[in-house]
Structure 1
């Protein structure tokens, strides 16, 4: 049984209901984690909490901003939401991530399931947040 609700958007409207502005990550050390992710995208982490390290943002061109908020008790267990990152060369990209503190969790390929030849690596960042790395399209 579907629980989907009918659209309340006015007919003929081209405006989206919402726009993805930021993906926020809870962190014990928001400053360190924001700077770690900023290095991934060759950008900067900016403290928006008056230099207290309570909230930092990493702006990535053509993507939602990554926010990092300091919390005393991050949600335990596996993430239900994770980032998918593409790199020109997955093996080299994963090696660089591991050298900078990431941990490889698993390797996957849809071809192993009879699907397309699409491979990715599951890693964790220095605070244990899962994310995936795959080759950029056309690589």
Structure 2
């Protein structure tokens, strides 16, 4: 009998929304990214205009990411989920139907995301997978 070792195989992507990033707002995004990178042994894999992403701990897992902010966050998010989906517009409509509220749209180059609030005011972002 032949058996296959699937330990190193990347898990198949299941369609639907997925948590892509756990985003930290930080006064010193580079310093905080370095702290988490060294603590978890995860290298920086991308940086762009005040945003830094660490490598995911395993395929299909969310990345830790860091967003540069000018002042300490009070009353707004310090940490939030980035949710990616093949159809972010439909996910936004679905979230609003469940009680979420649209806050604002943001863009970096041609990448767009919508900032939302859940029914208790916790912010999260929806973007294209």
TM range (shorter): 0.3 to 0.5
Structure ranking higher on relative contact order (CA contacts 8 Å, 6+ apart): 2
Larger radius of gyration: 1
Higher relative strand content = 2
Q: TM-score, normalised by structure 2?
A: 0.44
Q: TM-score, normalised by structure 1?
A: 0.42
